[in-house]
Structure 1
Amino acid sequence: MRLLVLICLVFLSEMASAQLEAAYSSYPFNPLAINPAYAGSRDVTSLTFINRRRSVFYRNTYSSQYFAFDAPAGEKFAVGFQAFRDPYSVASVGFYGTGAYRHRISENEMLSIGAQVGITQVVPPNNFIGNNVYPVSAGLGVQYKTPRYYAGLSAQNLVGSNNYYDNLRPVFLTGGYLFDVSEEVKLKLATLVRGQTLESRFKANADVNATVWIKQVGIGLWYQSTLKTLGGRSGILGTAEVQLGDRFRVGASYDFNSTQTGSFGFNTTESTIWQFFLRYEFDNGTGKVGQMRYF
């Protein structure tokens, strides 16, 4: 009986890890997913909705939803909240709260330190080993940001339920720079390095991306290899974003090579994945809601 329970825990651990992996992969549109220090860094209240779908043409297809909220709370603090829903995974629902301390070095420089605590509902398939379980996790992050460039370091699942997060305790190093090609054309280059220890070995991989902004329209290309950390393959992600007025931004992405197989044979992302996102921002006394933001 103990052996059966252990096997089930390993199974659920991998499946929960796979779902969190999908949540991390939403970071092109939701940086808060990998670094809690990002909370409030846009100096406005932001609401972000993301829908991941296997197909845009079929109604009854794989889909999952993500919601993120973050906002400054005065001059020195920020708060955030995230939730995801995936009815096709054993990790069906998750909620994460974020708090950040912000130190303004100068008018254009901000250093932030953030913490995140969350809980995930893990539903055993066919109630195989009993009732639902709710593993808790926590993460930390730091970010330095200016209007021209940024750098961040974060670690997820530092504190949490060991049975569910042993395979998923990643560290993320991020950075990006904005170039002025002309008055109306901007080029944003960014990278993400992910490292973690698996089976007593440290593995690291990197993503790189370039996004060209022409006025209010951004077209990006991402090379992603960080999923190789869990045994998957590298892939290419294409993105498109449009800023609609002062408050709305919409976008979509397509993973050209998104069939990734993890170390236990489960997909860490789903084949032919589209992501659609909508962001709504409103001013909370900063007067910055109408400013174009590239990070």
Structure 2
Amino acid sequence: MATFGKKLNIVLVLLGLAMAPAAFAQQAPQYSQYIFNELVINPAYAGSKQILNINATYRSQWTGFDGAPTTQTISIDGPARNKSLGWGLHLMNDEIGVQRQTGAYLNAASRISLDRFSTLALGLAVGASQYTLDGTRLRPGSEMPDMAVPQTRVSQLLPDLKVGVFFNTERYYAGLSAASLIPFKDSETDISTPRRHYFLSSGYLFDLGRHMHLKPSILIKEDFRSPTGVDLNVFLLLQRVVWVGASYRTAVPMFTKQEMKQLDKRNALAVMAQVYATPRFRVGYSYDITLTELRNYGSHEVSLGYTFLQKKYGRILTPRNL
């Protein structure tokens, strides 16, 4: 009975987050391998590697748990003919419980060379998302339905806007971005939409030898209404072919006095690897171990990437490590 009680509590938490638009906003999709493709969190990243890249990601969170989140993304970015400009396209589909978000974004970034080795980029992403809530799949716990939750399948197409700043050198990077910048009041939508999110990221690449490099990084996620999300990451690059590393994810009440429960802390440990099977093609995998009541349900994330290498001055341009 105790185990059943815990599962019931978890179900209620998931249902509350996903299906109560009057009280909660849908959370931004969760990724572990954004470290290898920051376009999913920062539009100013578009074209930063100066080479055309295509990335695809599939994430199954809390695998085996009914109604748990699943996310799929496809992104492409590269430089324009004018090397100071970058462009990108990001497609995503995110589903949790009976609610789904499907979105498409066009990214544009303007890159300013500060000196020979450092660049500052300003980015903008415009797009739209289709939000769907299938109320026919809900199973109310009482005979009286909650009038705040639709009893039928409802869907809305809403515009969206993201902005970002991205600074990088050959070894260091830092980015700041904001997503879901177009606000909607509860009276304007029938279903919940993501609240405004801010992302602050930074990392550095250290040499540990001729064929080994260390890359620590951090990501801070903030919406100023719930605990601040913090990702601490560390990776090794071996022979410039294999990345192996780990990420620790937690949450701290930096800008809110909200009392944190175990699930609010969102503590998790992710281990991941990325391999360049060829100079053009890479494969990545991560496994998240949740350190909360959902610890029995791991999360899997698979990514594929393809780079269109270019020749310049008689040599092949290869992807930058950052």
Q: Report TM bin, short chain.
A: 0.7 to 0.9
What per-residue deviation string (whole Å, max 9, x for no partner) do you get for residues 211-235 of structure 1? 0111111111101125989924211
Counterpart in 2 of 1:27?
34
Counterpart in 2 of 1:266?
none
Task: Tell me which amino acid in the other structure corresponds to 1:212.
Answer: L
**Using the alignment, how far apart are the partners of 2:316 and 2:252 within structure 1?**
34
Counterpart in 1 of 2:92?
84
| CA positional deviation for 1:194 | 2.1
Counterpart in 1 of 2:272?
239
Q: Aligned ranges for residues 135-146 of structure 1 at < 5 Å? A: 135-146=158-169
Indicate how the Cα distance of structure 1 residues 131 and 38 shifts in structure 2: closer, same or farther if over 3 A, else same: same
What is the DSSP-based 3-state SS (H/G/I as helix, E as strand, rest coil) of the residue aligned with 1:147?
coil
TM-score, normalising length from structure 1? 0.80
Counterpart in 1 of 2:79?
72
| CA positional deviation for 1:109 | 1.3
Identify the match of residue 108 of structure 1 among 111, 117, 133. 117
Task: Tell me which amino acid in the other structure corresponds to 1:182.
Answer: G
| CA positional deviation for 1:168 | 2.5
Q: Aligned ranges for residues 16-165 of structure 1 at < 5 Å? A: 17-18=26-27, 20-22=28-30, 25-53=32-60, 63-73=70-80, 74-86=82-94, 90-125=99-134, 126=136, 128=151, 131-163=154-186
**Using the alignment, how far apart are the partners of 1:26 and 1:17 within structure 2?**
21
Contact 2:101–2:130 (CA under 8 A) maintained in structure 1: yes
**Using the alignment, how far apart are the partners of 2:279 and 2:317 within structure 1?**
5
Indicate how the Cα distance of structure 1 residues 13 and 31 shifts in structure 2: closer, same or farther if over 3 A, else same: farther
Task: Tell me which amino acid in the other structure corresponds to 1:151.
Answer: A
Task: Tell me which amino acid in the other structure corresponds to 2:164.
Answer: G
Aligned residues: 274
Gaps of 5+ in 1: 1-6, 262-269
Q: Once the two structures are aligned, what percentage of the paired residues are identical?
A: 28
| CA positional deviation for 1:285 | 6.6
Counterpart in 2 of 1:169?
196
TM-score, normalising length from structure 2? 0.73
Indicate how the Cα distance of structure 1 residues 64 and 158 shifts in structure 2: closer, same or farther if over 3 A, else same: closer
Identify the match of residue 242 of structure 2 among 177, 198, 217. 217
Task: Tell me which amino acid in the other structure corresponds to 2:178.
Answer: A
What is the DSSP-based 3-state SS (H/G/I as helix, E as strand, rest coil) of the residue aligned with 1:106?
coil
Identify the match of residue 304 of structure 2 among 278, 281, 284. 278
| CA positional deviation for 1:124 | 2.2
Counterpart in 1 of 2:144?
none
What per-residue deviation string (whole Å, max 9, x for no partner) do you get for residues 190-249 of structure 1? 1112222117xxx43421111011111111110112598992421111110111222111
Counterpart in 1 of 2:215?
188
State which structure, 1 or 2, has the greater radius of gyration over its C-alpha atoms. 2
Could you list the structure 1 runs, at least 4 aligned residues long, displaced by more than 6 angstroms after superposition.
13-16, 227-230, 258-261
Which range moves more in the overlay, 62-71 or 9-18? 9-18
**Using the alignment, how far apart are the partners of 1:156 and 1:213 within structure 2?**
30
CA-based RMSD of the aligned residues comes to 3.4
**Using the alignment, how far apart are the partners of 1:13 and 1:48 within structure 2?**
35
| CA positional deviation for 1:140 | 1.0
What per-residue deviation string (whole Å, max 9, x for no partner) do you get for residues 21-78 of structure 1? 33x5552343111111111101111100111135899xxx975321011111122211
